[in-house]
Structure 1
Amino acid sequence: MRVVVVGAGLAGLSCAGALQAAGHDVTVLEKARGPGGRMSTRRRDDWQGDLGAQYFTARDPEFVDTVARWEAAGVAAPWHGRLVRLQDARVTDVADGQQRWVGAPRMSAITRWLAQGLDVRASVRVTGLRRHGGGWVLDIDDGSSLDGVEQVVLAVPAPQAEPLLRPHAPSLAAAAGHARMQGCWAAIVRGLEPAPAFDAAFVVEHPLRWIARDGSKPGRGNTPIWVAHGSGAWSAARIEQQPGEVAGELAAAFQSAAGLRTPPEVLSVHRWRYSQCIEPLADGYLLDAASGIAACGDWCNGDRVEGAYLSGQKLARALSDPAQFS
């Protein structure tokens, strides 16, 4: 079966790899310059920072085994940083017993490892889907198209999947429409003085919801680079602004949260238009077997890194089951 997976984030790569291992002909199309999605890392000559997912946990036995394989391959490692909760200048240690993991030496190491051996085509934006001769034609933003496709997998955020699903699988589109997602402004900063006595913090009732010293993670060289994520409400109120317009506010918010004497130097600002799913589905994936269109992602499966990976695996198993197409 010829399959095209739209989206080279964790769910898409998970699904694509499993389908290829099952003997299918798989192509992955990614609108960005490379794989990763929200498992991305921004790098320059003298710094790097994980812009999206900050860590992950492993609860499901299947994912526990997967993380063990990633660790053995050298692309994941446990993170033992001091994690606290910040509220009204009060610092409380988080002692929840959870083992947190990160990609090593950066979060994107995991998705780049998963992409090895796959036909991943970057900087390709799919603008529409058309039925033709019992299969699918995918229209690309440069005016070209990809035809002869038997199965389409949409591994993109729910608001991007919904308009592509609507003309062909209205029930799936309706389900995607129920998976509400919110945006997030993220910043990478440097120059914290005095340096906080913790490595990461959940920030409560504040413009920021998370700050973390990226250099405290394995493989980062203990650098003074920090990452900040704006809260859902704060980010939503500024989601249509440009990075330069919110950089100063992010710096001031970081100064306030971390108790700094001066604002940090902002190295990079990024807008995640679809960062977290605040009402995820519990289906695992969406599939219209009759028409050959499906969707997967964290928004289908509980809104975690673990959920994204397992969503791709579950969909791949369903597509490889001949009963689905009998």
Structure 2
Amino acid sequence: MTSPPHIAVIGAGMAGLSCATALQQAGFRVSIFDKSRGPAGRMSTRRGDGWQCDHGAQYFTARDTGFRAEVARWEQAGAAAQWFPALRRFDADGSSAVADPAERFVGTPRMTAPAALLASTLALRSGAAISELQRASTGWRLHAQDIGAFGDVYDAVVLAVPAPQAGPLLRAVAPRQAALADETSMQGCWAMMLQYAAPLALGFEAAFVNRGPLRWVARDSAKPGRDGTESWLLHASAAWSEAHMALDADGVAAQLLPAFAELGGPAPQHWNVHRWRYASTATSRTEACSWDAGLGVGMCGDWLNGGTVEAAWLSGRALAQRIAQGPA
């Protein structure tokens, strides 16, 4: 009896998990690798003593019918719920308005929950930072930083990582794919997590900010299923973040906290910062995914498909469908 093809998926964010799940459902053997301690990628949550705060993706929409059905499955499992924040928009001219009432979802009890649900059925190797791909006559071999070579040989490799991380892995073994990744510019984002002893009454629970260094603020404690002390999240704009990537934590706080104060936010009891080096794509791409059947190497991710959680899930699913079709 012939064993099913073995696919290595590098990256356990939403795109990688979506691709791996669809491949496994199609009968492939799948191994997924991620450099972090667990799955989720930028759908991340920072946790501390008595508090938590989503510091990556803040919510997701579900406009595609297939993804909406997947979100319904997450809701049924208790891993996601609709979020109805009091939402405002603060514009550059000093005006403010109630923001659009689009249907928004969050992971419950934290943003990592959908990823954890998907990963629960997959063979995931965490703490494995893949540093080299080798193409042999029998397939692909993977090497990980501080670990070395893995013994398995894989029939195909999927890279579900940001473009600047995919390029270096592919240049020597898949130059066409590497070129696609290398020509994609991604921008960073500074995130700041604030903790308070009591709830803040600011008149809003989330806001789009179109002035100064901030782009988004949200009361994380107001999301469904949350517990712990009052916490707020500040995201800086891509332009400001890119211009201040070299700042230390105190330097970030010195500029973001006054911007939050302009919106009514008082000084927090405690704060933390996190630098997302590759948070968004400077110019949106529309490929959905990339697959070289001859080499057996593909790429998926939100950077290929529009930059959202929904785009990441759709990108991973699209790549799985391409792989399952077999050689063109």
Considering the TM-score relative to the shorter chain, is it more than 0.5? Answer: yes
Select 1:132's aligned residue among 132, 136, 159. 136
**1:251 aligns to 2:257 (yes or no):** yes
The residue aligned with 2:314 is 310
What are the within-5 Å matches in structure 2 for residues 227-238 of structure 1?
227-238=233-244
Structure 2: how far apart are the matches of 1:219 and 1:107? Answer: 10
Select 1:203's aligned residue among 198, 202, 209. 209
What are the within-5 Å matches in structure 2 for residues 276-295 of structure 1?
276-295=280-299
**Amino acid of the residue matched to residue 126 of structure 2?**
A
**1:35 aligns to 2:62 (yes or no):** no
Deviation by residue 1:264-289 (Cα, 9 ceiling, x = unmatched)? 23432100000011213211101111
Moved more, 246-255 or 139-148: 246-255
**1:242 aligns to 2:244 (yes or no):** no
**1:118 aligns to 2:122 (yes or no):** yes
Per the TM alignment, residue 143 of structure 1 is displaced from its structure 2 partner at its CA by 4.6
Per the TM alignment, residue 193 of structure 1 is displaced from its structure 2 partner at its CA by 8.4
**Amino acid of the residue matched to residue 308 of structure 2?**
R
Select 1:167's aligned residue among 158, 164, 172. 172
Select 2:160's aligned residue among 155, 159, 177. 155
Structure 2: how far apart are the matches of 1:227 and 1:66? Answer: 27
Moved more, 177-186 or 286-295: 177-186
Moved more, 83-92 or 298-307: 83-92
The residue aligned with 1:180 is 185
**1:81 aligns to 2:90 (yes or no):** no
**1:90 aligns to 2:95 (yes or no):** yes
**Amino acid of the residue matched to residue 314 of structure 1?**
A
Structure 1: how far apart are the matches of 2:248 and 2:172? Answer: 32
Per the TM alignment, residue 44 of structure 1 is displaced from its structure 2 partner at its CA by 1.4
Structure 2: how far apart are the matches of 1:231 and 1:217? Answer: 22
**Amino acid of the residue matched to residue 197 of structure 1?**
G
**Amino acid of the residue matched to residue 234 of structure 2?**
A
Structure 2: how far apart are the matches of 1:266 and 1:182? Answer: 27
**Amino acid of the residue matched to residue 185 of structure 2?**
R
**Amino acid of the residue matched to residue 288 of structure 1?**
D
Structure 2: how far apart are the matches of 1:266 and 1:128? Answer: 40
Residue 322 of structure 1 aligns to a residue whose secondary structure is coil
The residue aligned with 2:272 is 268
Per the TM alignment, residue 171 of structure 1 is displaced from its structure 2 partner at its CA by 2.0
Stretches of structure 1 lacking an aligned partner (at least 5 in a row): none
| TM-score (structure 2 length as normaliser) | 0.93
Moved more, 234-243 or 45-54: 234-243
Per the TM alignment, residue 245 of structure 1 is displaced from its structure 2 partner at its CA by 3.8
Deviation by residue 1:12-56 (Cα, 9 ceiling, x = unmatched)? 011111111112111111101111100011111211010100001
Q: Do the aligned residues in 2 keep the contact of 1:162 with 1:177 (CA within 8 Å)? A: yes
Structure 2 vs 1, CA of residues 253 and 52 (structure 1 numbering), >3 Å: closer, same or farther? Answer: same
The residue aligned with 2:232 is 226
Per the TM alignment, residue 244 of structure 1 is displaced from its structure 2 partner at its CA by 4.2
Structure 2: how far apart are the matches of 1:184 and 1:113? Answer: 27
Per the TM alignment, residue 98 of structure 1 is displaced from its structure 2 partner at its CA by 1.3
Q: Do the aligned residues in 2 keep the contact of 1:254 with 1:264 (CA within 8 Å)? A: no
Structure 2 vs 1, CA of residues 91 and 163 (structure 1 numbering), >3 Å: closer, same or farther? Answer: same
Residue 280 of structure 1 aligns to a residue whose secondary structure is coil
Per the TM alignment, residue 302 of structure 1 is displaced from its structure 2 partner at its CA by 1.2
Structure 1: how far apart are the matches of 2:114 and 2:194? Answer: 24
Structure 1: how far apart are the matches of 2:305 and 2:26? Answer: 22
Q: Do the aligned residues in 2 keep the contact of 1:251 with 1:265 (CA within 8 Å)? A: no
Structure 2: how far apart are the matches of 1:143 and 1:121? Answer: 12
Structure 2: how far apart are the matches of 1:223 and 1:194? Answer: 11
Structure 1: how far apart are the matches of 2:248 and 2:116? Answer: 29
**1:215 aligns to 2:221 (yes or no):** yes
**Amino acid of the residue matched to residue 58 of structure 1?**
A
Per the TM alignment, residue 90 of structure 1 is displaced from its structure 2 partner at its CA by 2.9
